C-alpha cells in the first residue's frame, strides 16, 4: 500500500501512514462519532451535559498545552484525563448512565411485549392517571404523580408515607385534595399500586421558565437523575405537563396525556418490529415536543446537525490524542557545526550532518524539526596537527523533554588536520 503524501494526514496519523490507515481512521471516527451522538442524545437536557462540556474544555486545553509544549500543564491534564476521567464519569453520570441503560433495556421486542396481566395492569394505570389529572386540572388542584419506569425510586419512596394501595382515581383525588396532609408531596406509582405519597423530589438545577413553580422544578429534577415519568398538574393554571428524559412537555389535555402514557407503558406489537436495533433507532430519532415554557424552540434539523457536528469533532479530537500518545521513532538529518583550531584545517571534509533517531510520543514529535535538535557541534579545536578522533555525545543534542535518543550516526570518526600552506 502506498504512503499518503498530504502532510496534514501525516501530522495526525504519524509518519509512514498509508491509505489503509486513512480508511481505518475514517471508519474509526465515524463509529466513535455515532456512539458520541447517541450518548449526547441520552444526556440532552440533563445536568450531566454541562459537566461533559467542562470535560471537553479540559480536553481542548490539553491539546493546546501539547501544541504549545507546556510540559507541566500537559502532564497534569494528561494524568487527570487518563487516570481519573473514567472513575469521574461513573460517579458524576451514574444516574444518566443508569437511565440510558434502562432505555436500551426497554428497546428489545421481547422486553416490550407485555403479558396479558401486565398489559391490563398498565392499562388501568394509564386510565386512572389520565382521568385523575383531567379532574384535578378542572378543580385547579396541584399534583405530582411519579410513574416508575426502569429507575430505582427507593430513596424517593423513603421520603414519603408508604401506602401500598391499589391505584384508582378515587385514591389519587383523595391524596391531592386541597388541605390534605399529603397534598404537597409526590405519589409514587409502580405496577398499578400507589407505593407511597407525600414524597419529596429533588429540584432541577437548570433554570426554568418564570411561570413554572416548585412542582415543575421537582418533576424535572427527578427525571434528570432517575428513569421515571412524572405527571404534573399546575395549581395556578390547571395545566397538565409530563416530565420525562430530562424534558418537560406542557399543555396536554386528557386525550394527549393518555396517548403519551400509553406510548410508554403500553407498547404495541407494531412498535417493535426488527428487534432491539430498530426500536433503538426509532427512539433516538424521536424528538421531544417544542418547548412552551418561554424558551426558544429549536427545529429538528438545527438541533440534530449541532449534535452530529459536535460528535464528529469529539471523535476526531480523541483520535488525534490517541494517535499522539503512540510511541514511535523518527529520524532527522541534523546539521553539524565544526570547531577547529585557528591554525589548522581538516585534510578531509568533516560530516555536514548526522542522522539522529529519536523515540517518544508522536504528539511531541509532530512539530519537532531537525533544526530544533542542532546544530551538533564537533569540537576538534584542541587537536594537534595529526590524525584526530572526534565523537559526538548525546549531551550535545538539544533533546526536548519526554524524548529519548535511539541512535546517532555517525557518532565518531577520524580526520587529519594540517597547517594551511
What's the CATH number where 379 sits?
A: 2.170.120.30
Range of lowest pLDDT (39-48, 290-299, 396-405, 407-416): 290-299
Quick one: pLDDT band at residue 171, thresholds 50, 70, 90? very high
Given a cut of 90, whether residue 416 has pLDDT beyond it is no
User: Grid coordinates representing 153?
Assistant: 425510586
Q: Report which of residues 226 and 168 the model is more confident about.
A: 168
> Are 257 and 143 within one domain?
yes
Q: Output the pLDDT for position 196.
A: 92
Distance from the Cα of residue 75 to its chain's centroid = 22
> Are 312 and 332 within one domain?
no
List the 327-339 sheet strands across, edge first.
376-379, 327-339, 353-361, 404-409
Q: Using CA atoms, how far apart are residues 40 and 46, in angstroms rounded to an integer? A: 10
> Are 340 and 311 within one domain?
no
Q: Using CA atoms, how far apart are residues 256 and 81, in angstroms rounded to an integer? A: 46
- Is 293 among the domain residues? no
Nearest to 117 by CA among 127, 129, 125, 128: 125
- Is 1 among the domain residues? no
Quick one: pLDDT band at residue 199, thresholds 50, 70, 90? very high
Q: Output the pLDDT for position 418.
A: 65
User: Grid coordinates representing 20?
Assistant: 489503509
- Is 284 among the domain residues? no
Domain count, the chain: 3
Backbone angles phi, psi at 188, to 5 degrees: -105, 125
Task: Write the pLDDT tens digit of every residue in 12-49.
Answer: 777 777 888 888 889 999 999 898 888 777 666 555 66
Kindly report the number of other CB atoms within 10 A of residue 184's CB atom.
Answer: 15
Q: Output the pLDDT for position 197.
A: 93
- Is 41 among the domain residues? yes
> Are 123 and 222 within one domain?
yes
Backbone angles phi, psi at 243, to 5 degrees: -110, 130
Q: Using CA atoms, how far apart are residues 106 and 213, in angstroms rounded to an integer? A: 31
> Are 183 and 241 within one domain?
yes
**Which residue blocks in 254-393 are alpha helix, DSSP H?**
254-265, 276-285, 300-325, 362-365, 370-373
Q: Using CA atoms, how far apart are residues 175 and 172, in angstroms rounded to an integer? A: 5
Residue ending a domain, choose from 246, 266, 286: 266
> Are 142 and 244 within one domain?
yes
Let me know if 299 is exposed, middle or buried by CB neighbors in 10 A (0-12, 13-18, 19+). Answer: exposed
Query: Bridge-partner residues for 194, per DSSP?
Result: 165, 189
Q: Report which of residues 102 and 406 the model is more confident about.
A: 406
Quick one: pLDDT band at residue 231, thresholds 50, 70, 90? very high
Q: Output the pLDDT for position 296.
A: 39
> Are 94 and 195 within one domain?
no
> Are 158 and 129 within one domain?
yes
Q: Output the pLDDT for position 386.
A: 63
Q: Using CA atoms, how far apart are residues 71 and 402, in angstroms rounded to an integer? A: 9
- Is 297 among the domain residues? no
> Are 246 and 142 within one domain?
yes
- Is 227 among the domain residues? yes
> Are 238 and 351 within one domain?
no
Backbone angles phi, psi at 315, to 5 degrees: -65, -45
Long-range own/partner contacts, residues 389-393 (CB < 8 A, 24 or more apart): 389/413, 389/414, 390/350, 390/414, 390/415, 392/354
Q: Across the chain, what does the average pLDDT equal?
A: 75
Given a cut of 90, whether residue 50 has pLDDT beyond it is no
Q: Output the pLDDT for position 230.
A: 93
Task: Write the pLDDT tens digit of every residue in 343-388.
Answer: 666 656 677 888 888 888 887 787 788 888 878 877 665 555 566 6
Match 394501595 to its residue by C-alpha cell.
Answer: 165
Nearest to 261 by CA among 276, 240, 246: 240
**Which CATH number belongs to the domain containing residue 252 in this structure?**
3.40.1700.10
Kindly report the number of other CB atoms within 10 A of residue 333's CB atom.
Answer: 12
- Is 278 among the domain residues? no
- Is 299 among the domain residues? no
> Are 242 and 126 within one domain?
yes
Q: Output the pLDDT for position 282.
A: 41
Given a cut of 90, whether residue 310 has pLDDT beyond it is no
Quick one: pLDDT band at residue 109, thresholds 50, 70, 90? very low
Nearest to 243 by CA among 266, 225, 270: 225
> Are 175 and 258 within one domain?
yes
What's the domain range around 56?
7-105+305-324
Range of lowest pLDDT (89-103, 241-255, 310-324): 89-103
Which three-class secondary structure state does DSSP give residue 194?
A: strand
Q: Using CA atoms, how far apart are residues 308 and 278, in angstroms rounded to an integer? A: 20
Q: Output the pLDDT for position 134.
A: 92
Amino acid at each position: 500500500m502506498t504512503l499518503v503524501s498530504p502532510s496534514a494526514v501525516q501530522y495526525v496519523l504519524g509518519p509512514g501512514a498509508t491509505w489503509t490507515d486513512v480508511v481505518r481512521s475514517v471508519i474509526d471516527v465515524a463509529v466513535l462519532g455515532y456512539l458520541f451522538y447517541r450518548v449526547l442524545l441520552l444526556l440532552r437536557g440533563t445536568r450531566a451535559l454541562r459537566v461533559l462540556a467542562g470535560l471537553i474544555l479540559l480536553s481542548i486545553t490539553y491539546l493546546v498545552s501539547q501544541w504549545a509544549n507546556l510540559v507541566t500543564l500537559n502532564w497534569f491534564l494528561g494524568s487527570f484525563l487518563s487516570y481519573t476521567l473514567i472513575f469521574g464519569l461513573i460517579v458524576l453520570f451514574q444516574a444518566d448512565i443508569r437511565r440510558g441503560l434502562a432505555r436500551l433495556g426497554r428497546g428489545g421486542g421481547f422486553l416490550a411485549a407485555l403479558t396479558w396481566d401486565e398489559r391490563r395492569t398498565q392499562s388501568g394505570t394509564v386510565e386512572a392517571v389520565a382521568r385523575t389529572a383531567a379532574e384535578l386540572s378542572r378543580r385547579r388542584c396541584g399534583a405530582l404523580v411519579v410513574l416508575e419506569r426502569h429507575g430505582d425510586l427507593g430513596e424517593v419512596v423513603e421520603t414519603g408515607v408508604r401506602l401500598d394501595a391499589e391505584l384508582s382515581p378515587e385514591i389519587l383525588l383523595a391524596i391531592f385534595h386541597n388541605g390534605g396532609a399529603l397534598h404537597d408531596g409526590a405519589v409514587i406509582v409502580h405496577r398499578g399500586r400507589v407505593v407511597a405519597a407525600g414524597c419529596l423530589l429533588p429540584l432541577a438545577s437548570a433554570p426554568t421558565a418564570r411561570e413554572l413553580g416548585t412542582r415543575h422544578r421537582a418533576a424535572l429534577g427527578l427525571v434528570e437523575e432517575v428513569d421515571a415519568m412524572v405527571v404534573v398538574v399546575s395549581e395556578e393554571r390547571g395545566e397538565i405537563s409530563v416530565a420525562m428524559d430530562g424534558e418537560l412537555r406542557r399543555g396536554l389535555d386528557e386525550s394527549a396525556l393518555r396517548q403519551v402514557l400509553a406510548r410508554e407503558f403500553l407498547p404495541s406489537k407494531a412498535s417493535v418490529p426488527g428487534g432491539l436495533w430498530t426500536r433503538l433507532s426509532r427512539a433516538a430519532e424521536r424528538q421531544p415536543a417544542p418547548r412552551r415554557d418561554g424558551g426558544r424552540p429549536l427545529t429538528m434539523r438545527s438541533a440534530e446537525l449541532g449534535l452530529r457536528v459536535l460528535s464528529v469533532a469529539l471523535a476526531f479530537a480523541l483520535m488525534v490524542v490517541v494517535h499522539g500518545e503512540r510511541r514511535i521513532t523518527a529520524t532527522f538529518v541534523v546539521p553539524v557545526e565544526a570547531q577547529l583550531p585557528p591554525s589548522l584545517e581538516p585534510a578531509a571534509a568533516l560530516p555536514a550532518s548526522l542522522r539522529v533517531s529519536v523515540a517518544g510520543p508522536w504528539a511531541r514529535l509532530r512539530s519537532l524539526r531537525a533544526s530544533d535538535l542542532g546544530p551538533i557541534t564537533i569540537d576538534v579545536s584542541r587537536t594537534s596537527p595529526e590524525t584526530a578522533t572526534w565523537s559526538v555525545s548525546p549531551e550535545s543534542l538539544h533533546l526536548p523533554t519526554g524524548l529519548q535518543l535511539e541512535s546517532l550516526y555517525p557518532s565518531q570518526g577520524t580526520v587529519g588536520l594540517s597547517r594551511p600552506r
